[in-house]
């Protein structure tokens, strides 16, 4: 499965939201699995959108045909956009599905990992972080995905921001030490995204 993550700095919020609803046109596209997104809880002008495709071939076919027509509806509503593609490597918890209807927030961690620490980083995700997240009340499901250049995206869906906040306060520092995260990771950015039901396809 291919995971697409786009981050936009928005200048016309209402126009952007109106255009975002037009992405319902993705329904019926071959290989399309689901899309959702919302606003950063830290920066009100930043929007995140997550799309899921069965394979890169289906995604490339969509990009060559229908993408520009759908994207045109948001022209002029944002001043910059960064889009990255990741290949699904494994689930966080089990049985990941790109559904957004039961989640309130998505937490993303975007990591660039030192080349000689990539396998250790992935192993620690499976052995340390995954069990901790899977056992946290309110954590629904997630995905661990990889891009060229030793980049990783950890995306987790939560029933509420309050439940995610409890997990963070209780455990993150201790888990980070156990997983040797500081040794593995060259750069880390993250955000918490308040999902907007109208953006779900």
Taking only the tens place, the pLDDT of each residue in 76-89 is: 999 999 999 999 99
pLDDT surpasses 90 at 19? yes
Taking only the tens place, the pLDDT of each residue in 147-159 is: 999 999 999 999 9
Count of Cβ atoms closer than 10 Å to residue 43 Cβ: 11
Give pLDDT, residue 160: 92
Give pLDDT, residue 36: 98
Please report how many Cα atoms fall inside a 13 Å half-sphere around the Cα of residue 196, on the Cβ side: 17
Taking only the tens place, the pLDDT of each residue in 22-64 is: 999 999 999 999 999 999 999 999 999 999 999 999 999 999 9
pLDDT band at 164 (very low <50, low <70, confident <90, very high): confident
How do 32-40 and 46-53 pair as beta strands? antiparallel
Domains delineated in the chain: 2-199 (3.30.70.100)
Query: Among residues 164, 154, 165, 155, which one has the least CA distance to residue 37?
Result: 155
């Amino acid at each position: 499965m291919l995971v697409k993550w786009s981050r936009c700095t928005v200048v016309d919020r209402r126009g952007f939201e109106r255009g975002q609803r037009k992405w319902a046109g993705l329904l019926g596209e071959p290989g399309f699995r689901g899309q959702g997104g919302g606003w950063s809880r830290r920066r009100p002008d930043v929007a995140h959108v997550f799309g899921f495709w069965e394979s890169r071939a289906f995604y490339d076919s969509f990009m060559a045909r229908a993408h520009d027509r759908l994207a045109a509806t948001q022209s002029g509503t944002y001043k910059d956009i960064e889009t990255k593609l990741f290949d699904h490597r494994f689930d966080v918890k089990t049985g990941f599905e790109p559904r957004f209807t039961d989640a309130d927030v998505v937490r993303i961690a975007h990591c660039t990992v030192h080349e000689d620490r990539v396998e250790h980083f992935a192993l620690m995700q499976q052995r340390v972080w995954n069990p901790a997240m899977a056992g946290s009340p309110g954590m629904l499901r997630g995905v661990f995905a990889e891009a060229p250049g030793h980049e990783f995206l950890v995306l987790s869906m939560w029933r509420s921001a309050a439940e995610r906040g409890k997990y963070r306060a209780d455990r993150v520092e201790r888990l980070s030490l156990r997983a040797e995260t500081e040794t593995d990771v060259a750069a880390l950015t993250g955000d918490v995204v308040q999902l907007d039901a109208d953006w779900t396809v």
